[in-house]
Amino acid sequence: MSMALKQVFNKDRTFRPKRKFEPGTQRFELHKKAQASLNAGLDLKQAVQLPHGEDLNDWVAVHVVDFFNRINLIYGTISDSCTDQTCPVMSGGPKYEYRWQDEHKYKRPTALSAPKYMSLLMDWIEVQINNENIFPTNVGTPFPKTFMQVAKKILSRLFRVFVHVYIHHFDRVSQMGAEAHVNTCYKHFYYFVTEFNLTDHKELEPLVS
């Protein structure tokens, strides 16, 4: 890794604090297992497969948090060139515009600048993954029936970050020599969501077509 790239991927550049798994928990062990597969150079299609005997909800929860941390970091690297002026609309090229909607201030889909959208998105995801009623951390506490629905929504929205970065800011990524890192993260994400059918095909279209 080049010095420039090391400077980019240091903790000070992270968009917000990382969510970590508590050592000794089952989720921590699963996280270690997933990381070991990646570090061993295992084919990404194989690396995303559910390990024998493991619970799918746990496996998805581990990956949702991990992808949140990684994509957070990727966006943090280009955030200085993603401003209200350069990106007045959160989009993925001329064909795709993403509008923000939540349960609070934006009850209807609302057009926002990319940085505003990103900030709201990361705040919203952080609330979800830190909510014990949705992402339980205690062994034996069951996942809610709505867990997979929430996970799908998080992953679909995170995919939009990839779309925006690839289409509008890939020159910045290239400038920093970070293409390989971003491409690997994208492939890992893509194989995971398609393996478990966690994102609608329509959401994937901007980068698949």
Q: Summarize the annotated binding site for Zn(2+) as residue ranges.
A: 82, 87, 164, 169
Q: How far apart are CA 170 and CA 158, in angstroms?
A: 17
Please enumerate, as own/partner, the contacts of 198-201 that have beta carbons within 8 Å and a separation of 24 or more.
Answer: 198/60, 198/148, 198/151, 198/152, 198/155, 199/152, 199/155, 199/156, 199/159, 200/156
Per the annotation, where are the binding residues?
82, 87, 164, 169
Of 60, 50, 31, the residue nearest 155 (C-alpha):
60
| Angle, in degrees to the nearest 10, between helices 147-175 and 114-129 | 140
CA distances to 2, 17, 79, 142, 199 from 101, in Å:
39, 24, 22, 28, 18
Token pair for 200: 């609608």
